[in-house]
Structure 1
Amino acid sequence: MHFIQITVELIVGFAALFLMTKILGKATLAQVTAFDFISAIVLGELVGNALYDKKIGIGSILFAVALWGMMIYVVEWCTQKYRASRGFLEGKPTIVIRHGHLDRNAMKKEKLDIDMLQNLLRQKSVFSIREVEFAILETDGSVSALKKSQYETPTMEDLQQRRKPVCLPVTIIDDGEVDWENLKEAGLNEEWLMKNLHAHHIQSYSDVFYCEWKKDEGIFIEKMQ
């Protein structure tokens, strides 16, 4: 009966903490994943109970830690096995600057204000929002930034060419599964995709480990090994 109580409390605690991280948004996590954040709290509490609560024996602590580890393993297995579960369990990157303009709705959804965004950009050596063509808030709370072409450090190749527009790469296939939403957003369709796959002697989506498309460079494909 005691182990059943521990199981129920852990499951309820896991669900409550996970819900809290979703409500707080990715920016609040600041460099850690949702599961790192939850694990730190729960495991810290388990150790604290073991040290200060004499009613909780070693057997109970070992059972709780083993159960917690199993839950994390199951979650990680689900995210690896079922691509559809990744968005809910791990979250998705969010574009907060698009074509040089702040996406206020996306920032509001992720609880990200201007000061926080500027701080995260400075960590990437970007000191003005006007320098950014695209900025993506990652699932761990960090920001990835793609500068406008005029603010990029020129290379020898750049010095011999005209300034080019900045294009954001789009993931089309991930581990054998097509991201239809990305395909549609890029203005492409299934017929175009199959034509390009056939050109690379690929007959099925499941034969592709990774595929991305970039407007100025075309398609890039990594086959399954």
Structure 2
Amino acid sequence: MPDWIQIVLRALSLVIILFFMTKWLGTKQLSQMNIFEYISGVVLGGIVAIHASTLDSPYYYAPLAMFIWFIVPYMVELISLKSKSFRNFTQGKSKVVIQNGKIMEDNLKKEHYSTDDLLENLREKNIFKVADVEFAVLEPTGKLSVLPKKENQPLTAKDLDIKLAPEREPQTVIMDGKVLLEPLANLSLNTNWLETELDKLNVSIENVFLGQVDSHGQLTVDLYDDKIAVPSPSQKPLLQATMKKTQADLELFALATENEDSKQMYEKNSKKLQEALDIVSPYLK
């Protein structure tokens, strides 16, 4: 067999083995590698590169070496899940680098983390003053976790005592011009409903690049042709506007009539409709 064919076969087979080993080690190996996992990843890649291009050594040496470098971090990970002290030793511990707006210089030095590194990471989080930080932790992965002081945190709906409707994950029901039946079923909808909504937008399924339905049953679409403007969903705003108009009309009827019974009836129903508006308004925003 020619050497170039052997190299191709070795490279392909070793890459496939490396792919499955990486999957077995878990997604953490890809996103948040600690020191031990980083070393293992580099060595595994080196083994593949060397044995894929070198024909002097037997092929089985490569899977054997890869298996050893796979099983060691795998066992370390299993032990780490059961032992906090072992996990601290192999993966490291988080270090507090800012507390109450004050930099912990000793912890920075222990991690070989310069002041410039600290300020750069703070700026990436849109924080330009150390005094604005309540608490900052340097994670074992090198990521800086920051908690701004309360007065520097953005306002939330909870802070303003505003009730918001719960949101669920939007379901993608059209992709590349094709209907996805499973997401539709998850929303208890069908293709007839989808076709009706598309007719309202004057759009055909074939022209839709991406279509999504939110938890309130509103369809939004992105078309292949970016020059075509698609109207925004209007069901919820229209419903809210109709309810407000009806409530206002009842108040006007109560003011306009001289019949006391009719006045009380209009006022009673106006209050009921206002209560209903208060309940459903968070869901219609």
TM value normalised by structure 1: 0.54
Q: Secondary structure at the match of 2:60?
A: helix
Per the alignment, residue 143 of structure 1 pairs with 144
Structural RMSD (CA) = 2.0
Q: Secondary structure at the match of 2:109?
A: helix
**CA-to-aligned-CA distance 1:56-101 (integer Å, 9 cap, x gap):** 2210001001111110111001101222211101111100001110
Per the alignment, residue 70 of structure 1 pairs with 71
Task: Tell me, in whole angstroms, the C-alpha distance in 1 between the residues paired with 2:96 and 2:53.
Answer: 45
Task: Tell me, in whole angstroms, the C-alpha distance in 2 between the residues paired with 1:86 and 1:32.
Answer: 13
CA gap 1:126/1:32 in 2 versus in 1, 3 angstroms = farther
Q: Does structure 1 residue 112 correspond to structure 2 residue 129? A: no
Give the residue type in structure 2 aligned to 1:68.
W
Q: Secondary structure at the match of 1:112?
A: coil
Q: Does structure 1 residue 45 correspond to structure 2 residue 52? A: no
Per the alignment, residue 174 of structure 2 pairs with none
Q: Is the 8 A contact 1:100 1:133 kept in 2?
A: yes
Give the residue type in structure 2 aligned to 1:112.
Y
Per the alignment, residue 134 of structure 2 pairs with 133
Per the alignment, residue 196 of structure 1 pairs with none
Give the residue type in structure 2 aligned to 1:61.
A
Identity of aligned residues (%): 33
Task: Tell me, in whole angstroms, the C-alpha distance in 1 between the residues paired with 2:117 and 2:43.
Answer: 27
Task: Tell me, in whole angstroms, the C-alpha distance in 1 between the residues paired with 2:41 and 2:139.
Answer: 20
The runs of 5 or more residues in structure 2 that have no matched partner are 1-30, 162-285
The runs of 5 or more residues in structure 1 that have no matched partner are 1-29, 161-225
Per the alignment, residue 99 of structure 1 pairs with 100
Larger Rg belongs to: 2
The Cα shift of 1:103 comes to: 0.3
Give the residue type in structure 2 aligned to 1:117.
L
The Cα shift of 1:129 comes to: 1.7
Higher strand content, 1 or 2: 1
CA gap 1:119/1:54 in 2 versus in 1, 3 angstroms = same
Per the alignment, residue 81 of structure 1 pairs with 82
**CA-to-aligned-CA distance 1:95-124 (integer Å, 9 cap, x gap):** 000111000000000010111112222232
The Cα shift of 1:53 comes to: 2.7
Give the residue type in structure 2 aligned to 1:101.
K
The Cα shift of 1:40 comes to: 2.6
**CA-to-aligned-CA distance 1:184-209 (integer Å, 9 cap, x gap):** xxxxxxxxxxxxxxxxxxxxxxxxxx
Q: Is the 8 A contact 2:51 2:62 kept in 1?
A: yes
Q: Which fold has the larger relative contact order, with Cα–Cα distance below 8 Å and residues 6 or more apart in sequence?
A: 1
The count of corresponding residues between Structure 1 and Structure 2 is 131
Give the residue type in structure 2 aligned to 1:93.
S
Per the alignment, residue 180 of structure 1 pairs with none
Q: Secondary structure at the match of 1:118?
A: helix
Task: Tell me, in whole angstroms, the C-alpha distance in 2 between the residues paired with 1:109 and 1:94.
Answer: 9
The Cα shift of 1:159 comes to: 5.4
The Cα shift of 1:31 comes to: 5.8
Task: Tell me, in whole angstroms, the C-alpha distance in 2 between the residues paired with 1:45 and 1:64.
Answer: 11
TM value normalised by structure 2: 0.43
